[in-house]
Amino acid sequence: MKKERRQPAGHVQPSTSTCDSCTEASCSARTRNAGESDRDFEDRRRLQERLCRIRHKIVVLSGKGGVGKSTVAVNLAVALRLNGNRVGLLDVDIHGPSIPTMMGLENRTPQGDQGQLFPLDAAGLKVMSLGFFLRHPDEAVIWRGPLKMGAIKQFLKDVDWGDLDFLIIDSPPGTGDEPLSVCQLIGRMDGAVIVTTPQRVAAVDVRKSITFCRELKVPVIGVVENMSGFVCPHCGTLTPILRSGGGHRIALDMGVPFLGSIPIDPQIAVCCDEGRPFIQYAADSPATAKLQEIIRTIDALGRA
Ligand code: ADP
C-alpha cells in the first residue's frame, strides 16, 4: 500500500493510489492472511485502499452521553475545513446519531453506485451517518456487536471518502463496540480527543476512555472540558455553575494533554438544533474563541 507523501494541509492532490499500483512492501493488505477467503482479502484491500487516502484519522470519545461530544466533533471538523483542510465527518453513534441534525442534513439520503456510497456534503465536509438510513427519526437501532462492526466497516470501506486531510469520527459514549470497531478497523489511528464536563461524575469516566485508548494504542490528543462555566451573554462574566476543572485535573493525573475548556453558551444549543455549526455561525461567542484554541493543537497535526 502506497504511503502518501505529507503535504501541507489543504494541498489538494488527487490520488490514484490503488492496492494494485502500490509498491509499499510493509503493507498488511499486500498478502493474504492464513485461511482468509477471497472475499475477506478483497474487503481488507478495499478498506486499506480507502484508509491510505486519509492522512489523519481522529476519533472523538466521551465517557458519558450529553457532554457535548458530537458538538465538539462537528465544530472541530468544520474548523479544520475552514482552515483549508479536506475533511470527512463519520458518525458511528449507531444508537443516537445526532450528526444529521447538527449538520442540517435531516431527511437527506446518500446516493450509491456500483457498491459505493457517496457521502453528503455540508459546510464543505463529507458527511456519513447511520442516521441517514433510518426510515423514521424515532426508529431504534437494536444491533449486537457484529452487526455494528459490519456497518462501521461498510462506512469506512464502501464510502467514497476520496482524498482527505482529516477524518473525524464521532463515536458513541463509553468504551463499547463502536469505538472498539473503529480503532480495530482503522488500525493506525492518529489519536483521540476525549470530551467531558467538569463535574466529578462525568470526569471520572474520562479515566476509562484514557485506559481504553492506552490498551488499543491510540494516542490521546487531549481532553476537552465542555460546559465549563456559563458566560453571561449580557456582561460576559463567567459563572462556574457546574464544578469546574474536573477534566483538567484528570488529564494532569493521567499524564495526557489538556486541550482547553469550552463554556456553556445558549447560542451553541440553538446552532446545534438548527443544523448550523456554531464555530461558523456564532463567531463572536467566547465558546468559539475557546474552541479555536483547542483546534490549533489538532490542526498542527495536519501541518506537521
Ligand atoms: P453528546 O454527543 O456528548 O451526547 P451533544 O454534542 O449531542 O452531546 O450535546 C448535547 C446537547 O448539549 C446538545 O443539545 C448541544 O447543543 C448542547 N451543548 C453542547 N455543548 C454545549 C455548550 N458548550 N453550550 C451550550 N450547549 C451545549
pLDDT digits (tens, 9 = 90+) for 70-97: 999 999 999 999 999 999 999 998 777 8
Is there a domain that residue 39 lies in?
A: no
Q: Is the pLDDT at 167 greater than 80, yes or no? A: yes
Is there a domain that residue 236 lies in?
A: yes
Is there a domain that residue 289 lies in?
A: yes
Write the CATH number for 180: 3.40.50.300
Atom number of ligand 1 nearest to Cα 98: 7
Atom number of ligand 1 nearest to Cα 265: 24
**Candidates 238, 268, 276, 294: which one to mutate for ligand 1, based on the most atoms within 8 Å of Cβ?**
268
**Residue nearest to ligand 1 atom 22, measured at CA:** 264
pLDDT digits (tens, 9 = 90+) for 250-278: 999 999 999 999 999 988 999 999 999 99
Which residues, other chains included, contact 292 with Cβ-Cβ below 8 Å and sequence gap of 6+?
Answer: 79, 279
Is there a domain that residue 110 lies in?
A: yes
Is there a domain that residue 181 lies in?
A: yes
The 3-class SS string of the chain reads: CCCCCCCCCCCCCCCCCCCCCCCCCCCHHHCCCCCCCHHHHHHHHHHHHHHHCEEEEEEEEECCCCCCHHHHHHHHHHHHHHCCCCEEEEECCCCCCCHHHHCCCCCCCCCEECCEECCEEECCEEEEEHHHHCCCCCCCCCCCHHHHHHHHHHHHHCECCCCEEEEEEECCCCCCHHHHHHHHHHCCCCEEEEEECCCHHHHHHHHHHHHHHHHHCCCEEEEEEEEEEEECCCCCCEECCCCCCHHHHHHHHHCCCEEEEEEECHHHHHHHHCCCCHHHHCCCCHHHHHHHHHHHHHHHHHHC
Q: How far does residue 152's CA lie from ligand 1's centre (Å)? A: 24
Q: Could you tell me the pLDDT band of residue 13, with boundaries at 50, 70 and 90?
A: very low
Is there a domain that residue 96 lies in?
A: yes
Atom number of ligand 1 nearest to Cα 269: 16
Is there a domain that residue 26 lies in?
A: no
Domain assignment of residue 298, given as a range:
56-303
Is there a domain that residue 166 lies in?
A: yes
Q: Does the CB atom of residue 261 touch ligand 1 within 6 A?
A: no
Mean pLDDT of the chain: 85
Smallest CA-to-CA distance from 78 within 301, 295, 300 is with: 295
**Residue nearest to ligand 1 atom 27, measured at CA:** 269
Q: Is the pLDDT at 142 greater than 70, yes or no? A: no
| Total domains present in the chain | 1
pLDDT digits (tens, 9 = 90+) for 211-248: 999 999 999 999 999 999 987 878 877 787 766 678 88
Model confidence, pTM: 0.89
Higher pLDDT, residue 303 or 45 = 45
Q: Is the pLDDT at 295 greater than 70, yes or no? A: yes
Q: How far does residue 109's CA lie from ligand 1's centre (Å)? A: 24
Q: Is the pLDDT at 6 greater than 50, yes or no? A: no
Higher pLDDT, residue 182 or 243 = 182
